[in-house]
Amino acid sequence: MGRRDRIDPGRQHTVRREYGFEGKGLHTGLFSQILICPAAADSGIVFQRTDLSGGSNMIRAVAENVKLTERSTTLACGPVKVQTAEHLLSALYCLGIDNALIKISGDEAPILDGSAKPYADAISADGLLEQDASRKYIVVDKPLHYKDCNSDSEISIFPSDSFEIDITADYGSKVFGIQKAHYDSGMDYAAEIALCRTFCFLREVEYLLSLDLIKGGDLSNAIVVCDTPVSAGTLAHLEDIFGIKGLARVPEGYLSNVKLHFDNECARHKLLDVTGDFALAGYPLKARIEAYKPGHGINTSAVRYLREQYINSAK
């Protein structure tokens, strides 16, 4: 059930039952548990911190609640926050889930295998629960363009009868090259996008570790791009840090810790991130998105601008 055309696009949907996941957060390294629960029509996607006492501890998954975008998307409402929400949000959005309550026991969603596959596989196996309510869309009726003034990243949003997205990823790397990826609502999200894992460049690994980021990274949940040959000493150091043996740089220019699912798996993961961030529109979109060098900062800023045009301006 990775395709949205297998559900009634005119009705709202929620999950059929509860789904539980647990593991370490990529950046905090802290253990957390997630429970995806059915929710009533018109609820939207809401996170609830079950480990905090007092108050409702709820956070609506909308762009206005984005607080940080350093290497992931962090939602917050007052002192309540949830980090690295984008993979789960991507799965919910692309599978066509309008309403769900996400109970989480820590600051950060577990990284699992670095993709959205565990979420998509579990939910797809059961199908969705159709609800007695009409689905509400954001129907884009004019082109919108958003550019990051501090970089050459751009996102353009165009009218369309359905949801589709094209991304171009370019890091100035000879190994990575210029990668492109496409998704539309007629594709099998679970088989073509959800399984694509997060990635980083080897040059970033020690820097991120020095910032106390990627504490939950163990090289089983990330693709590592190596722009240049890697010395035996560096490989030995990485083996010691991450507790694995036999690391090497494969001819394609990646570490041998994982095997790529697709030649453009990194671009497909960037697309996964974009769909997760665009889920923060709060409603499914009828729009075509073109994203050049996307990142969580520009993604969520573009979605906030989109909501200003179509949601908040109507209030």
261 is catalytic: no
Relative to beta strand 19-24, strand 31-37 is: antiparallel
Average pLDDT of the residues in 181-199: 96
**Is 70 exceeded by the pLDDT of residue 195?**
yes
**Structure confidence at residue 205 (pLDDT):** 78
pLDDT per residue over 245-270, tens digit each? 899 999 999 999 889 999 999 999 99
pLDDT per residue over 3-26, tens digit each? 555 789 999 999 999 999 999 988
**Structure confidence at residue 159 (pLDDT):** 98
**Structure confidence at residue 138 (pLDDT):** 97
Give the Cα separation of 222 and 57 in Å (integer): 31
Give the Cα separation of 119 and 92 in Å (integer): 8
For all residues of the chain together, what is the average pLDDT? 92
Nearest to residue 109, comparing CAs of 43, 20, 172, 211? 20
**Structure confidence at residue 7 (pLDDT):** 83
The percent of residues in the chain predicted with pLDDT above 90, rounded, is 77
Count of positions (residues) in the chain: 315
Considering only residues 205 and 34, tell me which one the structure prediction assigns the higher pLDDT: 34
Give the CA dihedral 94, 97, 101, 107, nearest 10 degrees: 0
Secondary structure of residue 314 in the 3-state scheme:
helix
Query: What confidence category does residue 29 fall into, taking pLDDT thresholds of 50, 70 and 90?
Result: confident
**Is 60 exceeded by the pLDDT of residue 232?**
yes
Q: Which of 13, 87, 269, 296 is catalytic?
A: 296
Output the six-digit token pair for 236: 């030995």
The percent of residues in the chain predicted with pLDDT above 70, rounded, is 93
Nearest to residue 146, comparing CAs of 308, 311, 280, 313? 308
Query: What confidence category does residue 161 fall into, taking pLDDT thresholds of 50, 70 and 90?
Result: very high
**Structure confidence at residue 315 (pLDDT):** 38
Query: What confidence category does residue 314 fall into, taking pLDDT thresholds of 50, 70 and 90?
Result: very low
Tell me, rounded to whole angstroms, the distance of Cα 67 from its chain centroid.
Answer: 16
Give the Cα separation of 306 and 118 in Å (integer): 30
Nearest to residue 139, comparing CAs of 170, 167, 160, 120? 160
217 DSSP assignment: -
The structure's pTM equals 0.93
**Structure confidence at residue 240 (pLDDT):** 81
Tell me, rounded to whole angstroms, the distance of Cα 92 from its chain centroid.
Answer: 10
Secondary structure of residue 95 in the 3-state scheme:
helix
